[in-house]
Amino acid sequence: MEVAVRFEGVSMRFDEVLANDDVTLEIRKGEVFALVGENGAGKTTLMKILYGLHSPTSGSVTVQGKRLVQHSPAESLAAGVGMVHQHFMLVPSFSVAQNVVLGQEPKVRGVFFDQHKASEIVEGLRARYGLRVDPAARVEDLSLGEQQRVEILKALRMGADVLVLDEPTAVLTPKETEELFAVIRRIVEDEGMTVIIITHKLYEVMAVSDRVGVMRAGKLVGVAQTSDVSEAKLASMMVGREMIFAPLERAGALGDECLRVEGLEADDKRAYPALRGVSFGLRRGEILGIAGVEGNGQSELVEVLTGLRHAASGRVVIAGQDCVGMDPGQIRALGVAHVPEDRIATGLAIDAGVSENLLLGRSSQRRFAAGGIQLRWKEIRAFAKELAQRFDIRSAGVDAPVSSLSGGNMQKVVVAREFSFDAPLLIVSQPTRGVDIGASAAIHEFIVEKRNAGAAILLVSADLDEVFRLSDRIVTMYEGRISGEFAKGEFDKEAVGLCMAGGRKEAAS
């Protein structure tokens, strides 16, 4: 079979970190190739070399039989390589159409931007590939799932023969994931494209890929036909040991109500209603899962509960106090920890070090600051090293900038910081987005450990399997309203999915 991409002895070193170690790999034309591995295994680095964002320390890369020389995005694009990145590279203030045609803008009389033509291009791509999005909408007003679709349309617009998708389903619902997989199979089978998927979700590897490569500690440790391996085998190859997923046992009884939401209403960024009379309660020793298609009010709900968005009306009672109108600092002081859905935008000080990010929220504590002013760096670094070891944060050291970490290790920094607070209420949004299988299992265990210790946990996740695995109770959201509620014994994907789409719980029974 014809080779689309060949890596020959590729190594990539960042100071003391060897991200890729003598990787030799062939990817065939017209196949879906999955690349898996733990966070920091070197998957994204290898694909960034292919896309021209990094120049390898040694080795060579060949695309369609032509060796890359300059290792620039322009050269890779010219060779037919497109890439959709895990962290979106869109212009927030531009419309969908403007983002999709960016760099190849249609012009009126060769001078002025042709908005009508740009919208026609997006409509054509949308119809061809089945990715629903409004060409006139501004990107900053879209949900994360909708932004992902724009990224994919943008790459397809560039006419790529080799398309790299870095964690493409991280912000998609199960139904959206199925739709994406249908698109992938269609462009591979009907148009002969090559698709490379970087993912942590092994069931997705089994569902969509033809072959799979496993990386560990910068090395390629194996390549196999997907039909010849199991999820358990891939997991063991990724971590270098047999993976055993222990059941998440419940311990302890439910305690007092820790959070009460009554008739909550709020607008989104466009001043449209995002929350419409939302009401629910959450008790200590309970995990309440929020399930819903992206853009149905989950993000706005979390923002109101954590003081990041004003409520139009309604009540939010935490620890017996109505906290509507309080700022994030005041709400944190009530005993609330928060893992936000977007680690880059709201979870991290991206240019600061690992230790500084782990310190956030504690900088005035006597242990870390003399007189509440002068920072005690020896204590701070010791604390950061302790958390880094406990949560397996892999970096060049606690003084390394967070920006140098892989996406999964960035997430672990946020989780480590928030979980280390002794908070009676944890609001956790997308806790394992972009995190590898071993780290996801560990984060799940930490969540259950907190629940078993008596914390109340509000879990918002686009991963329905995660919601089912962790939750004691599930509520679904549709168009800003609570559309269904399910006790532990009532969990059923068809019934929950129906309520996520606006149907009624009774209709599924």
Residue 482 has pLDDT above 60, yes or no: yes
pLDDT for the residue numbered 78: 92
**Residue 58 contacts by C-beta under 8 Å, 6 or more apart in sequence?**
9, 10, 11
Lowest mean pLDDT among 254-258, 328-332, 371-375: 371-375
| Average pLDDT for 41-68 | 95
Measured N-to-C along each axis, helices 377-390 and 407-419 cross at an angle, to the nearest 10 degrees, of 110
Scan for tokens 């946020």, then name that residue: 414
DSSP, collapsed to helix, strand or coil, labels residue 436 as coil
**Residue 383 contacts by C-beta under 8 Å, 6 or more apart in sequence?**
355, 358, 359, 367, 368
**In 10 A of CB 217, how many CB atoms?**
15
Residue 165 has pLDDT above 80, yes or no: yes
Q: Which two tokens stand for residue 33?
A: 């190739």
Indicate the pairing of strand 287-291 with strand 456-460.
parallel
**What DSSP state is assigned to residue 95?**
B
Question: Length of the chain, please?
Answer: 509
Give the CA distances from residue 31 to residues 176, 189, 220, in Å, rounded to whole numbers and listed in that order: 21, 8, 19
Phi/psi class of residue 429: alpha, beta or left (left: φ > 0; alpha: ψ in -120 to 50)?
beta
| Average pLDDT for 427-449 | 85
Q: Which two tokens stand for residue 256?
A: 């007092």
Residue 434 has pLDDT above 80, yes or no: no
For 195-238, the pLDDT digits (tens) are 999 987 788 899 999 999 999 989 999 999 999 999 888 888 88
Comparing 38 with 309, which gets the higher pLDDT?
A: 309
Residue 414 has pLDDT above 80, yes or no: yes
Whether residue 359 contacts residue 380, with contact meaning beta carbons closer than 8 Å, is answered with yes
**In 10 A of CB 191, how many CB atoms?**
11
- Cα separation, 83 vs 51, in Å, equals 7
Scan for tokens 């679904």, then name that residue: 476
Amino acid at site 392: D
Residue 490 has pLDDT above 70, yes or no: yes
DSSP, collapsed to helix, strand or coil, labels residue 406 as coil
Gyration radius of the chain's alpha carbons: 23
pLDDT for the residue numbered 39: 73
Residue 55 has pLDDT above 80, yes or no: yes
Strand order in the sheet with 81-84: 81-84, 162-166, 194-198, 32-37, 211-216, 219-225
pLDDT for the residue numbered 214: 94
Q: In what helix (H) or strand (E) does residue 459 lie, and over which residues does it extend?
A: strand 456-460
Whether residue 8 contacts residue 20, with contact meaning beta carbons closer than 8 Å, is answered with no
**In 10 A of CB 233, how many CB atoms?**
16
Q: In what helix (H) or strand (E) does residue 444 lie, and over which residues does it extend?
A: helix 437-452
For 66-80, the pLDDT digits (tens) are 999 999 999 999 999
| Average pLDDT for 315-329 | 93
DSSP, collapsed to helix, strand or coil, labels residue 139 as helix
Whether residue 500 contacts residue 291, with contact meaning beta carbons closer than 8 Å, is answered with yes
Whether residue 45 contacts residue 20, with contact meaning beta carbons closer than 8 Å, is answered with yes
Give the torsion sign (CA, 120, 121, 127, 131).
negative
| Average pLDDT for 88-100 | 91
Amino acid at site 344: I
**Residue 227 contacts by C-beta under 8 Å, 6 or more apart in sequence?**
none
Point out which residues pair with 35 in neighbouring strands.
198, 213
Q: What angle do CA 37, 43, 44 make, to 5 degrees?
A: 135
Predicted TM-score (pTM) of the model is 0.66
- Proportion of the chain above pLDDT 90, given as a percent: 58
Whether residue 87 contacts residue 168, with contact meaning beta carbons closer than 8 Å, is answered with no
- Specify burial of residue 326 (Cβ count, 10 A radius: 0-12, 13-18, 19+): middle
- Which ranges of 219-295 does DSSP label H, i.e. alpha helix? 231-239
